[in-house]
């Protein structure tokens, strides 16, 4: 009975964010590219784990402007096998929140 290992997934996400946006400042023209690359890299690494899971990855990138941002999620699934992992990352000019959900088949 495979289960969702949060630490493994969280390190995959952190790696994907670092490699896509590591030392960059917020640039409106690049944001689209960054979000897609973070999400695609995370997803491909997750599938490489080879577990029988369906994955959902959501990434939100927001410019730092003093505005507030809140996210909440609720899920209806099997607690013993499914799980979620959310990673918050920031640098001087932007915030990035990535959530990964894994649902066992």
Residues between 62 and 101 that touch another protein (CB under 8 A): 62-78, 82, 84, 99, 101
Count of residues binding another protein (CB under 8 A)? 45
- Those residues whose C-beta lies under 8 Å from the C-beta of residue 41, and which sit 6 or more positions away, are 15, 16, 19, 20
| Phi and psi angles of residue 13, each rounded to the nearest 5 degrees, phi first | -65, -45
Per-residue binder mask for another protein (CB under 8 A), 6-35, x = binder: --------------------x-x--xx-xx
Give the C-alpha distances (Å, rounded to integers) separating 66 from 59, 63, 93: 20, 9, 11
Q: Rule CB under 8 A: which residues touch another protein?
A: 1, 26, 28, 31-32, 34-36, 38-40, 43, 46-47, 54-78, 82, 84, 99, 101, 103, 105
């Amino acid at each position: 009975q495979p289960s969702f290992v949060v630490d493994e997934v969280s390190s995959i996400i952190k790696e994907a964010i670092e490699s896509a946006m590591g030392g960059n400042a917020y640039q409106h023209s690049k944001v689209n590219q960054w979000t897609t690359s973070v999400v695609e890299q995370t997803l491909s690494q997750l599938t490489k784990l080879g577990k029988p899971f369906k994955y959902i990855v959501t990434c939100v990138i927001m410019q730092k402007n003093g505005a507030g941002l809140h996210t909440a999620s609720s899920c209806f699934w099997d607690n013993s096998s499914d799980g979620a992992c959310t990673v918050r990352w920031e640098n001087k000019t932007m915030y990035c929140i990535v959530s990964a959900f894994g649902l066992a088949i």
